[in-house]
Amino acid sequence: MVRNPQSGTRLRPVDLARAHGLSTQAIRNYEADGILPAADRTPHGYRTYTPLHAGALRAFLALVPGHGHRTAASIMRAVNQGAIDEALRLVDESHAQLLDDRETLRAVERALRDLAPTPPSEPAADATAAARSGPAGTFIGPLAGRLGIRPATLRTWERAGLVSPRRDPRTGYRVYDEADVRDARLAHQLRRGGYLLEQIAPLIDQVRSAGGLEPLETALRDWHARLSARGRALLTGAAELDAYLRLRDDRG
C-alpha cells in the first residue's frame, strides 16, 4: 500500500463519507466520475484514500453551490486530468455568468424605474384612431427579434397573461403598443432572473396598476440576495480549489 508522502494517513471510503454526511456509494461514484483521483487499493482490493482525496472532495463540495453540480464536476475532472487551464476557464465562465445576471438585474431595475402609469383611454376613441392611422405599435416578429426570443414565446406569455396585445381589425395580427413592449421586456428580464411564468404574472399586474418599482421591491431584494450568495459561494469554492491545487503541487 502506497501511503501519502506528506502524512502517511490512509482513509477509508467511510472516513470521507462520514466527514461530509455522504454515503460510501457517493464517494465511489465521485471517484468513478473523475471528481476524485483514482484510489489506491489494498492487497485485498479495498479502496484507500489520502488527504489528497479529502482535499478533492472538499473542493468539489465547495464548488457545487456556486457553479452547479455539472460544472463543478467538470472543473474537478479537468484538474485531475492535469488540464488546469480548462478548469480555470470553467471557473471564469461561471463568474462571467454571474456578472451577466447582475447586469440583467440592473436592467430590470432600470426598466422599472422608467415605468409610468398608463391612463386608461376610451375604447371607442382607440378604435377610431386605429381605423384612421393603422396599427400603432409593433408586430410579434419584430418584437420577438428585439428581445432575442421566438414569436411562440410571446404567444405563450400572452396565454399566461404577461402581455395583452390587441388585434389589428383589418389583418387580425397582434399589435404590441408601448405598454405591451414594456411588459414583454419585464417578462423577458424576469425569466432570465429565474422567475417562473406564474410568479411573473402577478408582478406584472402590480406594475400595470401601480406603475413603479415598489411592487417588485421584495422580489428584487430576494434576487440581489441570491446573486450575493452565489458570489460568496464562488469565492468559497475558489479557496477550496486553490487549496486542492496546492496539495497536488506539493504531492508532485
Q: Band the pLDDT of 246: cuts 50, 70, 90.
A: very high
Is the same domain home to 17 and 52? yes
Global pTM reads 0.66
More confident call, 105 vs 239: 239
Q: Number of structural domains, the chain?
A: 2
Q: Is the pLDDT of residue 158 over 60?
A: yes
Is 8 contained in some domain?
A: no
Banded model confidence at residue 26, pLDDT cuts 50, 70, 90:
very high
Residue 181 within a domain: yes
Per-residue pLDDT tens digits for 65-79: 999 999 999 999 999
Q: What is the pLDDT of residue 8?
A: 55
Amino acid making up residue 49:
Y
Same domain, 204 and 247: no
**Domain assignment present for 1:** no
Are residues 89 and 120 both part of a single domain? no
Provide φ and ψ at 166, rounded to 5°: -90, 170
pLDDT in tens, 164-194: 999 999 999 999 998 888 889 888 888 887 7
Q: What is the CATH number of the domain that holds 58?
A: 1.10.1660.10
Quote the pLDDT of residue 44: 82
Beta strands (DSSP E) in 15-148 are 40-41, 47-48
Local structure of residue 118 (DSSP, 8 states): -
More confident: 9 or 85: 85
Q: Model confidence at 43, in pLDDT bands (50, 70, 90)?
A: confident
Same-domain check for residues 125 and 185: yes
Cβ pair 52, 251 in contact under 8 A: yes
pLDDT of the residue at 133:
36
Half-sphere exposure of 100 (CA within 13 A, CB side): 8
Mean pLDDT of 198-220: 71
Taken in order 225, 228, 234, 238, the sign of the CA dihedral is negative
Tell me what percent of the residues of the chain surpass a pLDDT of 90.
54
Mean pLDDT over the full length of the chain: 83
Same domain, residue pair 59 and 143: no
In this structure, are 63 and 130 located in the same domain?
Answer: no
Average pLDDT over residues 117-143: 54
pLDDT at residue number 155: 95
Q: What count of Cα atoms within 13 Å lies in the side-chain half-sphere of residue 116?
A: 3
In a domain, 103, yes or no: no
Of 239 and 1, the structure prediction assigns the larger pLDDT to: 239
Kindly write down the DSSP assignment for every residue of 181-239, as one continuous string.
HHHHHHHHHHHHTT--HHHHHHHHHHHHHH-SSGGGHHHHHHHHHHHHHHHHHHHHHHH
Q: Does residue 28 belong to any structural domain of this protein? A: yes
pLDDT band at 7 (very low <50, low <70, confident <90, very high): very low
In a domain? residue 238: yes
Q: What is the pLDDT of residue 116?
A: 46
Is position 3 within any domain?
Answer: no
Print the domain residue range for 238: 13-97+231-251
Question: Are both 36 and 70 inside the same structural domain?
Answer: yes
Say whether pLDDT at 23 is over 90. yes
pLDDT class of 118 with cuts at 50, 70, 90: very low
Contact 37, 56 (CB under 8 A): yes
How many helices (H) and strands (E) in the chain?
Answer: 11, 4
Residues 145 and 75 placed together within one structural domain of the fold: no
Specify if 169 maps to a domain.
Answer: yes
